[in-house]
Chain A
Amino acid sequence: MKLTQEINRLLIAFLVAFLIMMIAAAYWGISGAEDLLLREDNPRRVEVEAQIARGQLVDRSGIVLAESIRQDNDQVERTYYYPEAAPFTGYFSLRYGTGGAETAYNTLLRGDTEMTLGVYVERQLLHQPAQGADIQLTLSVPLQQKLNEALLPYRGAGVLLSAPTGDILALVSLPTFDPNTLDTEWDLLRETEGNPFFNRVLQGRYQPGGVLETPLLAAALLRNHSLDDSLADADQPVILDAETTVACAFSPGDQPLTLVDAYLYGCPRPFADLAESLEQTSVESIFASFSINQPATLEGFVPAELNMATPTPAPQPTATPENTLVRNVLGQGQQVISPLNMALIAAAVGNEGNAPAPRTLLAIRSHNGDWQPVPAEGMSQPYLAASAAQRLSEFMTANMLSDVLVTPQAQYPLAGHAGIAYSGKGKTLSWFIGFATLPDATHVAVAIVLEDVNDPRAAAQIGQEMLMAAYDQRIAIDVEAATTETP
């Protein structure tokens, strides 16, 4: 009597069972591992993230904007030294993710570099927490602080950029948030009126109103329209519908107005007449050349699906075939634009008709490495001919030297234009776009929009202050450089 058959069967059964265990372990450990690791409820994921020392964010002069400091528990805490720069720097939160520059340069900041042998040994074998690269942004802390301070009483947006480099020097969107207290205030911020997480400079789609007169004036220049003829009824308002009447942004008094005068006072009637003489296709062609209907953005700063949102959802006046053209050229109705687009138009006027490609990154410093400059990738885009830009520049300079928009500051080479727009019943937007010519013949351009403010002077005042501040800063830098070079 032998037990051989039974024992061998038993053995096979056990071996098969152990094999099944190995297959199951392979399933969970190898093929299904990624799904498990990426689950939001996996505490290991949070633990790993919490140990990553994200790189520093520094401004263009080396001021540290944000850095991660390792705590006693080996976890890392992100500190933002200039919360007023939040619309630019964004935020980093273990719970809520990233925003702004933290999102745009997340890969670099996290240290998610190519998996070389050294990186593999350091991370996978020695389990050293990742050390991200430092990022030097184009932002200027003093200018950002000044713009934030100037805009603080309002809800709106402002952006300052340089031409021809396209460096974003300041970017403010109000209301905003403090990234240092994001985790505790998240729910409150989400419910705050005006949505602090909405980046108005990049995501905002505002009716441009009177500031759209700048490209229209460019069109008039290109088509050799007479700019010096007095125009009849130039100061009369344009009635778009029962609820919307567009009038001069500034009162011109009783004087006869030319097209250039109408541009100074922001009177819509001559531009409506101009558009009708140009016809629909010409207007569309002008808008296309100024990229008005192509929202400019900063790559990676905001989620793509949010780009078409609007900060002040308002019922749009129903467009009719008869007045669609007029509505569009007067920057009303369906015609919307972002503040960044408007700043690029201003920059193009100053920069011989070429709009710079906006950029936010100056240099990268890997862990224990040196700063490596990042060459500008974007190409400048021609918006208008240099001659037309030159004429426009003269008109805008004259605007700033008159006392209609602001108190003139003749010692500064400033140019600008202000206007108002209507974004719904009882809702008015105040705009200013402008630029300053710096001593080295480069430019700084600005766009300001104030929500629910029926006073374009307020926007013009802020714009003027910012251009002057940028000019002064450049002078100071030049003086410092000259002093350093002198033995």
Chain B
Amino acid sequence: MDASITLPARDLLHTPPHIERRLLVLAGAFMGVNLLSLAIQRNFDPLIWWPFLAWILCAVGGQIMLTRLLPYRDPLLFPLMMFLAGWGLVLIERLEPQFADRQALWLLISVGVMLVTCSIPYLLRTLRAYRYTLLMLAIGLLVSTILLGVNPSGFGPALWLSVGGIYFQPSEALKIILVVFLASYLSEQYPSIRLKDLPRLTFIERHPWLSPRILGPILLMWGICVIVLIWQRDLGTAVLFFMIFIVLLYVASGVELIVACGGLLIGAAAVVAYRLFDVVQLRIDIWLDPWPEYDGRAFQIVQSLMAFGAGGIFGQGVGQGSPRYIPVVHSDFAFAALAEEWGFLGVIVVTACIAVLVMRGLRVALLHQERPFFALMAVGLSTLLAVQSLLIMGGVLKIMPLTGVTLPFLSYGGSSLLMSCILMGLLLRLSSEGRQP
């Protein structure tokens, strides 16, 4: 399989607006048909169309603004993002109709913030310049969550901060801040890691990635992950942070051993966490064999697998399945609900869309090979999207233990949607700058 990316000539990089528009129309048609199906089942309840109107506003407004702001952007990123976000709205309208309007409002806000992200001149350079400030902000958010965190549902891990009645999950912001910081830091260290023609006399000079300048951040990141794990019992975010860091370090250094070491560290951490933390032990136990506890601790994952079985190839149809047997289905198990109602075909489409987004993100990285910060930013953002998606998909499919992260754009959650849109805004900005002649 040759999955390498070849770059087109520069004069072909200008985004033809009609491609984006046609894709958006297709996405809108898909959403409209599904909502129509739901509306028929609910006696043509007019309220069902508010999320659709919000989506149309975002799609039309976003496309017009992006055409003005970023004429050289990647033409697939925004339509794919809107397609997934629209599907997510349909899912929430179907699963928890009372949350659909709120999610639609979050989409309006998120797309707005994404456009602001795209429109700020020198944003990327500014982020790079203030990386330590960002790091302090990240640590501050982390500490605030540890001290002041709450859970809107009144139970479970306290991963939210409440500001004026609005709940926000700081770990979502931390992900992007982490990528920015690491991309900035590693791009600065890039020459010393990569230049092979310098005289190398000492052990550290022969193995520059072992220098304190490189190893220091590794330990710092590992420490942050451990804190997240210990204090917040947030296994998913801890794994996500660490994997992003390992990937960025590998891409920056080109040393394969880092990946192996990272894998070993994750494995070691898993063994220790299994012995120390009940939540980790529970998740690993029910991952290994959920069936004996199908009606107890493993109820969620067993019902998730049954949802896949019920969906079959073509799915039960929107509103026709029974995904609500899965507790908290709209948040952690949106992928299983999607499998039940849209079937294996729906799973393929969503997985392929996310894979294409990741692929296009990495393609953006290749466009910026002369600018390591931009390249590492694109790699980090793409990795964030990929790893987060794979973690929740793998957990829902019993390939790996459940980690409790959201499926980007599809799961319910304002913080997740907002950060995913900011991520896309940064990728759009990077793609535009990379493709601009």
| Interface residue from A2, A10, A12, A18 paired with B369 (Cβ < 8 Å) | A2
* B390 lies within 8 A of A18 (CB): yes
Q: Are B313 and A10 in contact (CB under 8 A)?
A: no
| Cβ A41 vs Cβ B295 within 8 A | yes
A440 contacts the other chain (Cβ, under 8 Å)?
Answer: no
The reply to whether B251 and A29 form a contact with Cβ atoms under 8 Å apart is no
A308 at interface (Cβ–Cβ under 8 A)?
A: no
Residues of B within 8 A of A6 (CB): 250-251, 254
- CB pair B351–A21 under 8 Å, yes or no, is yes
- Which of A42-50, A395-403, A447-455, A471-479 participates in binding chain B? A42-50
Bound complex: CA A464 to CA B257 (Å)? 96
Chain A 1-33 interface 0/1 with B at a Cβ cutoff of 8 Å (1 = within): 111111110111011011011101110111011
Instruction: Kindly state the separation between the CA atoms of A15 and B359 in the bound complex, as whole angstroms.
Output: 8
Whether the Cβ atoms of B369 and A3 lie closer than 8 Å is: yes
- What 0/1 pattern do residues 436 to 456 of A give for CB contact below 8 A with B? 000000000000000000000
- Residues of B within 8 Å of A44, CB to CB, are 306, 310, 321-322, 325
| Residues of chain A within 8 A of B390, CB atoms compared | 14, 17-18, 21
**With contacts A3-B365, A4-B369, A14-B386 known, is A42 near B5, CB below 8 A?**
no
A28–B325 touching, CB < 8 Å? no
Shortest beta-carbon distance from A45 to chain B in Å: 9
Q: How many residues on B have C-beta within 8 angstroms of the other chain's C-beta atoms? A: 56
Residue of A nearest to B190 (CB): A1
Contact with A along B343-383 (1 / 0, CB 8 A): 11001100110110011001001100100100100010001
Number of A-B contacts (CB under 8 A): 140
Query: Is B1 part of the binding interface, using a Cβ–Cβ cutoff of 8 Å?
Result: yes
B114 to chain A, nearest CB (A): 23
Question: Which residues from 272 to 315 on chain B have a C-beta closer than 8 Å to any C-beta of chain A?
Answer: 294-295, 302-303, 305-306, 308-313
- Please determine whether A36 and B3 come into contact, CB atoms closer than 8 angstroms: no
B interface secondary structure, majority: helix
CB distance from A12 to the nearest CB of B (A): 5
- Does A17 contact B386, Cβ atoms closer than 8 Å? yes
In the assembled complex, B316 has its CB within 8 A of some CB on chain A = yes
List B contacts of A47 (CB < 8 A).
322
Q: How far is the CA of A35 from the CA of B1 in the complex (A)?
A: 34
Q: Report chain B residues within 8 Å CB of A42.
A: 306, 309
* A125 contacts the other chain (CB 8 A): yes
A43 touching B309, Cβ below 8 Å: no
Residues of A within 8 A of B152 (CB): none
- CB contacts (< 8 Å) of B344 on chain A: these are 25-26, 29-30
Tell me if A227 is interfacial: C-beta within 8 Å of chain B. no
Return the chain B residue nearest A127 by Cβ: B320
Q: Given A7-B362, A21-B351, A43-B322, verify A29-B5 contact (CB < 8 Å).
A: no
Contact indicator A10/B305 (Cβ below 8 Å): no
Q: Which of B9-17, B125-133, B391-399, B425-433 contacts A (4 or more CB under 8 A)?
A: B391-399
Q: Is the CB of A18 within 8 A of B379?
A: no
Contact B309 A25 (CB under 8 A): no
CB of A37 within 8 A of chain B? yes
- Select one of B4, B316, B317 contacting A8, CB under 8 A: B4
Which of B247, B306, B309 is most buried by chain A, counting CB atoms within 10 A of its CB? B309
Report Cα–Cα, A24/B301, bound state, in Å. Answer: 14
Q: How far is the CA of A260 from the CA of B250 in the complex (A)?
A: 106
- CB-CB nearest in chain A for B1: A12
B339 on the A face (CB < 8 A): yes
User: What residues on B are CB-neighbors of A5 within 8 Å?
Assistant: 254
A127 and B317 form a contact (CB under 8 A): yes
Is the pair B309, A36 in contact by a Cβ cutoff of 8 Å? Answer: yes
Q: Does A223 contact B (CB under 8 A)?
A: no
Which residues from B are CB-within-8-Å of A29? Answer: 308-309, 311-313, 339, 343-344, 347
Q: Flag whether A95 is at the interface (Cβ < 8 A).
A: no
Pick from A3, A4, A28: contact of B309, CB under 8 Å? A28
Instruction: Tell me, yes or no, whether B194 is within 8 Å of chain A by CB.
Output: yes
Given contacts A25-B308, A36-B308, A39-B306, A3 and B375 within 8 Å (CB-CB)? yes
Among A1, A8, A34, A47: residue with most chain B CB under 10 A? A1
Is B3 a contact partner of A33 (Cβ separation < 8 A)?
Answer: no
B399 touches A21 (CB 8 A): yes
Contacts A3-B369, A24-B397 given; does A33 touch B312 at CB 8 Å? yes
Q: How far is the CA of A111 from the CA of B149 in the complex (A)?
A: 55
- A125 and B359 within 8 A (CB): no
The answer to whether A3 touches B251 (Cβ under 8 A) is yes
Beta-carbon nearest neighbor of B376 in chain A: A3
CB distance from B109 to the nearest CB of A (A): 29
Q: Mark B13-25, 1 if CB is under 8 A from A, else 0.
A: 0000000000000
Judging by beta carbons under 8 Å apart, are A36 and B305 in contact? Answer: yes
Q: Which residues of chain A are near B311, meaning CB under 8 Å?
A: 29
Nearest to A26 among chain B residues (CB) is: B344
A125 touches B369 (CB 8 A): no
What is the CB-to-nearest-CB distance from A160 to chain B, in angstroms, rounded to a whole number?
A: 46
Q: Which residue of B lies closest to A33 (CB)?
A: B309
Q: List the A side residues contacting B343 at CB < 8 Å.
A: 29
Q: Which residues of B contact A37 (CB under 8 A)?
A: 306, 309-310
Contacts A41-B295, A43-B325, A127-B316 given; indicate if A11 touches B369 (C-beta within 8 A).
no
Bound-complex Cα distance A41 to B290 (A): 13
Q: Identify the closest chain A residue to B193 (Cβ).
A: A1
Closest chain B residue to A34, Cβ basis: B309
Contact with A along B334-347 (1 / 0, CB 8 A): 00000100011001
Complex: how many Å from CA A127 to CA B316?
A: 8
- Decide: A18 and B366 in contact? CB cutoff 8 A: no
> Can you add 10 more A-B contacts, CB < 8 Å, to A21-B397, A25-B308, A41-B294?
A7-B375, A8-B5, A11-B4, A17-B390, A21-B347, A21-B390, A21-B393, A21-B399, A28-B398, A35-B309
18 A-B pairs with CB atoms under 8 Å apart are A1-B194, A2-B369, A3-B375, A7-B251, A7-B375, A14-B358, A14-B386, A15-B355, A21-B351, A21-B399, A24-B394, A24-B397, A25-B339, A26-B344, A29-B343, A41-B294, A42-B306, A44-B321
